[in-house]
Structures are given as structure tokens and as C-alpha cells.
Amino acid sequence: MEGIAIMTSGGDAAGMNPAVKCAVDYSRSLGYKPFLIFNGLRGLIDDDIEEAKRSSVSGIMHRGGTVLRSSRSKRFFDYESRLVAYENLKKHGIKKLIVIGGDGSFRALNQFYSDFKVPFAGIPATIDNDIPGTDYCLGVDTALNMIRSNVDSIRDTANSFSRAFVVETMGRHCGYLAMASAVTSGAEICLVPELEYDLDAIGERLRLQIEEGRNFLIAIVAEGCNMSDYLTRWIHDTLKVDARLTILGHIQRGGSPTVRDRLMAFKFAVAAVESLHRGETSNIMVYRSGNFGTLPIHKVTDSPASVDPALVELCKPLCR
């Protein structure tokens, strides 16, 4: 039986575990011998590889993060380390790889394919939702629901004490989480890398609302703006509203995957196994305009990431 191995790499995201389970089960149904690679790229080099038994993926559907664990390995940049990884795969009879992660993981596996011609299929998994070519990445819905729950709770306190709360979400280069959260939580301010903001205009808009009876404010800020501390002070000094900052941090990456993330994980995993089964060598699974498909790795890594223009338009009034 030909070996196929599944690994997770890069930042963890809810939905990785359902994807692992489905990839194992579906590949076995097609006659492959599934393996699990633990600890990401580091595990490839250190031979943290074992055959996937049914018990290996039993009871993991509801778990957040990744039971395979993850890592970022600088050693993988060295050809000699990649050669060790290749020898490890040969030893186990593994001839195909599925990697669940972000574009950095895809680039690493593409280099591995260039070196040793080991075909791979990539499943996009990052809560930032910033992989080009796909409208959705695993973990996004769960992260948004974590943010929604926290913002709803913060709003209760904001209303009770007539305060402003600045909530910082993840998103170093992409403001998707902040934009989607701002729109769906009814925030008054949203600052993201994709949009220019005008604090003078924001201040004038909110002063009028305060005069009309508004007694609390919610601002959502993407971490990549580096504006959370400043905005908190600005609200206090300019609008004369008691303001507090809440940085959500890594709680956004955890939590039991939502129904949507579990379903998307299964559909991505089936697509990945089928891509390899068809003989494709270096494709990334994508979801665009309601349809699943594949893109060659170079079309993903060579393209800029962008946020849905319609969502950007919805957020523009919150930046001015």
C-alpha cells in the first residue's frame, strides 16, 4: 500500500483536527496507508512519524488546535535537513503529503517537492484568512465566534459603566478578523491595515452621537495597525470617555471548531486526497464563490492576499 502522510504546520487553527481525521479516513478508503507526522516540519526531520490507526484520530473532531502539534523549523531551510526528512519518508514508504497550514508551510513543501519530487496537497488553515486564491481558510469561523463572544461580553460592561473599549484582534498584515468582527458586533470604530482612517472625522461623528445620548463605544483594531494603545488614549483625551484596552491575543486561535469549520475541514480534506489521487503534485485547495477547487502553488504564493471588497466597503464608514 502506498503511504500518504498528513501534517499540520504553522499557527494552529480550529478545524485542523477534523481535517486530519477526514484525510486519514478518506485516504484509507482509497487504498492508501495513512501516516501522521507530529510537530510539523521539525517532525519531518526528526522522524516523528507513525502509522495512523483508527484510534489515532478517534475523538478529535471537537478539539481545537492540532493533536499533531506544530512548529516552525529553521532547519528545514537547509538542504541537508530536508534530505534527512526525505529519507525518513522513504523509510516509511510515504510517497504523498498533505500539509494543513498557511502559505509559509506551502512554500516549504514546494521547496521539498522541487528537491525530491514528493507530491503534496495543501489545505489552507489560518485564522487571518489571508491565503491568496481562497475565500476561506480553516479556523476563521471559530476565531470570529470567539471574538464575537468576547465583544458581546465587553459591550455589557461598556454599557454598564458608560465606557469605551478598544478590542485588539489578531491580523498583522490582514484586517479580515477585525473587519468582520466590527461589522457583526456593531462597533463604532474599525482600524485595519487595508483602510486609511481619519481620527478627526471619527471624533466629530462620535461627538454628535454622544450628544444624542450614546453612552458607550466599541472599537475593533487589527494588531497590524499598532494603534490600540494610541486609540485608547485618544478616545479618553479627545472624547472625554473612560476608555479601556482589551487585547484578545491567542484565545482567538483556540476553542472547539464550529460546525462550519468542521464541514469545511472535511470538504478540504477530501479535495486534498483526491487531488493527490489524480496525480496532481503541488496544488492548494481553495474555496471561491461557493465552490471548491485547486490552484497550483505558484498562483497562491505569487499573488497578493486581499479582503472581500464588499466587506471593505462595509467598514469604510467606521474609519471616518
How far apart CA 282 and CA 275 sit, in angstroms, is 9
How far apart CA 250 and CA 109 sit, in angstroms, is 26
* pTM, two decimal places: 0.95
How far apart CA 181 and CA 172 sit, in angstroms, is 16
Q: What is the pLDDT of residue 17?
A: 98
Q: What is the pLDDT of residue 300?
A: 94
Task: Reduce the DSSP state of residue 157 to 3 states and report it.
Answer: helix
Q: What is the pLDDT of residue 275?
A: 98
Residue 170 carries which DSSP code? Answer: P
With b for 16 or more beta-carbon neighbours within 10 A and e for fewer, the 246-275 pattern comes to: bebeeebbebebbebbbebbbbbbbbbbbb
Per-residue pLDDT of the chain (320 residues; tens, 9 = 90+): 999 999 999 999 999 999 999 999 999 999 999 999 999 999 999 999 999 999 999 999 999 999 999 988 899 999 999 999 999 999 999 999 999 999 999 999 999 999 999 999 999 999 999 999 999 999 999 999 999 999 999 999 999 999 999 999 999 999 999 999 999 999 999 999 999 999 999 999 999 999 999 999 999 999 999 999 999 999 999 999 999 999 999 999 999 999 999 999 999 999 999 999 999 999 999 999 999 999 999 999 889 999 999 999 999 999 99
Assign domain 142-253 to its CATH superfamily.
Answer: Phosphofructokinase domain (3.40.50.460)
Same fold, 3-139+257-303 and 142-253: yes
Residues facing residue 3 across a β-bridge: 33, 94
Choice among 12, 128, 130, 141 that is catalytic: 128
- In DSSP notation, 230-293 reads HHHHHHHHHH---EEEEE-GGGGG-SPPPHHHHHHHHHHHHHHHHHHHTT--EEEEEEETTEEE
**128 catalytic residue (yes or no):** yes
Q: What is the pLDDT of residue 116?
A: 98
How far apart CA 1 and CA 50 sit, in angstroms, is 15
**Among 136, 225, 214, which residue's Cα sits nearest to residue 175?**
225
Q: Are 302 and 103 in contact (CB under 8 A)?
A: no
**Domain assignments of the chain as residue spans, ordered by start:** 3-139+257-303, 142-253
How far apart CA 282 and CA 295 sit, in angstroms, is 9
Fold designation for 3-139+257-303: Rossmann fold (3.40.50)
Residue 2 carries which DSSP code? Answer: -
How far apart CA 38 and CA 44 sit, in angstroms, is 8
Q: What is the pLDDT of residue 72?
A: 82
The dihedral region occupied by 255, where left means phi > 0, alpha psi between -120 and 50, and beta the remainder, is left
